[in-house]
Structure 1
Amino acid sequence: MQVSLRVAEQRDAERINTALRRLSDDLNDEHTARAADLENVGWADMPGFRAVLAETDEIVGVALYSPVFSTTRGGAGIFVSDLWAAPKVRGRRLGARLLSAALADGVELWGANFIKLSVYDDSLNARRFYDQLGFEPLEGQIELILDKAGCAALKGEV
């Protein structure tokens, strides 16, 4: 099976959302994004993310990523928020190829020199995959998030 990789275009929003919905299903996560949300953010005047697609006659993988800057690391990197490979192509290093393509795009656009991502504690297969690639836990850090209600409160909207 020949798999090709390319940077996503706006016309891909629906297909990207479908693939990410499959990722959400695999993780038993809620999926509230719509294709229009992806279009509005990913192809805005100042895009909020980029994506690399893996395709055969359909999308069989996607990496969704955004630029980050670290004063500790002295430069830009990419934050991979979503990485998914279809079950029929798992075990063929497609995830590594997607990450490599995302990094290459990040290098070209932002001079990226690192990749940051999060993995669920109970995703043992994902953790093994990332460990094999050389990813390491960030010692002394805890990931935090302020949800939609918290952001509204912070902005004084509550």
Structure 2
Amino acid sequence: MPRRSAGILPFRHRGGNLEVLLVHPGGPFWRNRDEGAWSIVKGELAPDETPEAAARREFAEETGWTLEGELIPLGEVRQAGGKVVTGFAVAADYDPETLCSNTFDMEWPPRSGQIRAFPEIDGAHWFLAAQAEEKLIPAQRQFLSRLQTAINGFNIK
């Protein structure tokens, strides 16, 4: 059975343009990566947890922000490593400067015996939809077109 995650893609309209909030993963492996490295805010489902509950929990843990509003389902995607991600969108307007991510511990440098703490997310940024297409992990790019379809279907401005 593939690993399962769920996440949230905040969006807003500015100057007639759709913008989405993406996050950059923390830790040394992602430090110098940009294009194709950004993500929706997501995390793994706990046993017996629904995708929506996991997405809401992970969003709060990884950003420190309160999530308000109804979630718009964006379906599932399968990432290159086999993980299945269920996506949701929400109309929101967070200030990336107020991001307060939780941390994880890992041995760094490798085989050094030193355990260091790293933020799960080391940055957040609002991107125009076209910019987000380049920044997102390739499998998650499908969420952008699904969001635009949902927005058009619901007349969300």
The TM-score, its normalising length taken from structure 1, stands at 0.25
More strand by share: 2
Q: Relative contact order, CA 8 A, sep 6+: which one is greater?
A: 2
TM-score using structure 2 length: 0.25
The structure in which a higher percent of residues are helix is 1
